[in-house]
Homo-oligomer: A and B are copies of this chain.
Amino acid sequence: VTGTAPAAPAAFLAGCRSAVGDRHVLVDPDLTASYAVDWTGRWRGTTPAVVRPASTAEVGEVVALARRHRVALVPQGGNTGLVGGGVPLAGEVVVSLGRLAALGDVDRVAGQVTAGAGVTLAALAAHAAAAGLAFGVDLGARDSATVGGMVATNAGGIHVVRHGAMRAQVVGVEAVLGTGAVVSRLAGLVKDNTGYDLAQLLCGSEGTLGIVTAARLRLVVPPPELAAALVGLRDVDAAVALAAAVRREVAGIAALELMDGPGLEVVARYLDAAPPVASGAGAYLLVEAGGADDPLPALAAAIEGAPGVVDTAVAGGRADRARLWRWREAHSEAGGALGVVHKLDVTLPGAALAGFCADVRSRVAAARPDAVVLLFGHVGDGNVHVNVVGPPADDEEFDDVVLGLVVERGGSISAEHGIGTAKRRWLARDRSPDEVAAMRAIKAALDPDGVLNPAVLVG
């Protein structure tokens, strides 16, 4: 989507200037341009203005003005989303939350902290570490992704198997709803059965119900000792079974990452190196565990003699662990080096996971014989990233091949990334008409004028 941004009503802009200060209402296209395109460059819109409030009260004023003047808003955090949910694709006004960057003292007794929507994940992690604690969610975009966006999209990452996704870290939120109502529950109440959990409803709502301005977040105790193992296995079935076994038998499993054999060969060519375990396995499992004592002996015992194990490499120290992780992390780069990557981020029910991994390769091969497929993901969560190089960027028919198989097998067409604008047409195939209708009813209840991200999710 490109073109000229529609003008915002002058009265709306005047109100915003009065609310947040002249210099925080950007209308110069040179200044607004970077807010109108996502980091991948795939989603490019236009905006008449970027408004940068610095408090919940200012966000409230902006929402009130938007309702009065019927101006559509797109809330924007670190702009690291992958589904076009945070950029003004239909000429919306951008509400950038970067100035809400307050970070409260760590409550070491409760293991909690309050962070403004604009605090980056990296800043939050450093703040927690300074108090001897850690934040339970980590992901690659940590230097840019912000707390508000992570709550709004229920961000996941590599530690979901250990600590859950973003919604499991959220003790409470402060937010301005589309009705203008302010929700504020930041006292850190772990138990609070006083009505509907509005914080949980906002988690994953992608800015369509309210604008999250702050969150009270759970912190976790980082394990003093960490160990990792990279295991080559006969096939994906064996890898899935081993993942389940180590999860039962080894305390403190922090990550369980699956890679299939053909994908790892692509990575080996990209890295121009031999993998640290005998190559030619059908699948690879990367396990990381943490504990008060060295988890390596328990990890090695759980792997040794497990069905289908071909070869294993273990690592204790940070550098050795990083060497194993490199094989997992290079999957994205290895795909990108070959061309445009179709990134399909899906979840399967546990029992359907191995079958899906086998079948998706043959379906892709039948549909697009020359495609290169990298198949990897967070097996502990049933989350597979199907990265495919070959089909042209706009080949949505190809995406249908993969996502159709996912729906057929009872999976979810978006594990971590959300719906945004990119997957809107898929929502109705993944969720029943009844479920979509319920979502629309909630949307109408909390954003009756449709001013918040009207083109996203159920918009």
A417 located at the interface, meaning its Cβ lies under 8 Å from any Cβ of chain B in the complex: yes
Shortest C-beta distance, A380 to chain B (Å), equals 8
Q: Mark A184-201, 1 if CB is under 8 A from B, else 0.
A: 110111111111111011
A118 located at the interface, meaning its Cβ lies under 8 Å from any Cβ of chain B in the complex: no
Shortest C-beta distance, A279 to chain B (Å), equals 27
- From known contacts A193-B415, A248-B221, A434-B183, infer whether A110 and B200 are also in contact, taking CB-CB under 8 Å: no
Shortest C-beta distance, A440 to chain B (Å), equals 9
Taking CB atoms, residues of chain B closer than 8 Å to A205 are 196
Chain A interface residues (CB < 8 Å from chain B):
107-112, 132, 153-154, 156, 160, 164-165, 167-168, 177, 179, 181-185, 187-198, 200-201, 203-205, 209, 221, 240-241, 243-244, 247-248, 251-252, 291-292, 298, 347-351, 378, 380-383, 410-419, 423, 427, 430-432, 434-439, 441-442, 444-446, 457-458
Taking CB atoms, residues of chain B closer than 8 Å to A195 are 204, 419, 427, 431, 435-436, 439, 457-458
Complex CA gap A428/B201 in Å reads: 20
> Across the interface, do B349 and A188 meet the contact criterion of CB distance under 8 Å?
yes
> Across the interface, do B156 and A349 meet the contact criterion of CB distance under 8 Å?
no
> Across the interface, do B167 and A200 meet the contact criterion of CB distance under 8 Å?
yes
Complex CA gap A247/B190 in Å reads: 15
> Across the interface, do A193 and B419 meet the contact criterion of CB distance under 8 Å?
yes
User: Which residue of chain B has the shortest Cβ distance to A444 in the bound complex?
Assistant: B445
> Across the interface, do A383 and B191 meet the contact criterion of CB distance under 8 Å?
yes
Taking CB atoms, residues of chain B closer than 8 Å to A347 are 189-192
In this complex, the member of A132, A185, A188, A419 whose beta carbon has the largest number of chain B beta carbons within 10 angstroms is A188
Shortest C-beta distance, A43 to chain B (Å), equals 17
One complex includes copies of this chain to the number of: 2
User: Which residue of chain B has the shortest Cβ distance to A243 in the bound complex?
Assistant: B109
Taking CB atoms, residues of chain B closer than 8 Å to A241 are 109
Q: Which 4 A-B residue pairings sit nearest by Cβ, starting from the closest?
A: A110-B350, A181-B434, A445-B445, A441-B445
Pairs A–B under 8 Å by Cβ, sample size 18: A107-B350, A109-B351, A110-B350, A111-B248, A160-B191, A179-B438, A181-B438, A189-B349, A189-B415, A191-B378, A192-B415, A193-B418, A194-B423, A194-B427, A194-B431, A195-B439, A197-B200, A251-B251
Complex CA gap A442/B443 in Å reads: 9
User: Which residue of chain B has the shortest Cβ distance to A176 in the bound complex?
Assistant: B434
> Across the interface, do A240 and B201 meet the contact criterion of CB distance under 8 Å?
no
In this complex, the member of A193, A205, A437, A438 whose beta carbon has the largest number of chain B beta carbons within 10 angstroms is A193
> Across the interface, do A413 and B108 meet the contact criterion of CB distance under 8 Å?
no
Taking CB atoms, residues of chain B closer than 8 Å to A132 are 248
Shortest C-beta distance, A402 to chain B (Å), equals 15
> Across the interface, do A193 and B153 meet the contact criterion of CB distance under 8 Å?
yes
Complex CA gap A410/B189 in Å reads: 9
- From known contacts A221-B247, A349-B189, A350-B112, infer whether A203 and B194 are also in contact, taking CB-CB under 8 Å: no
Taking CB atoms, residues of chain B closer than 8 Å to A201 are 196-197, 200-201, 442
Complex CA gap A391/B165 in Å reads: 45
Complex CA gap A145/B312 in Å reads: 46
Shortest C-beta distance, A151 to chain B (Å), equals 12
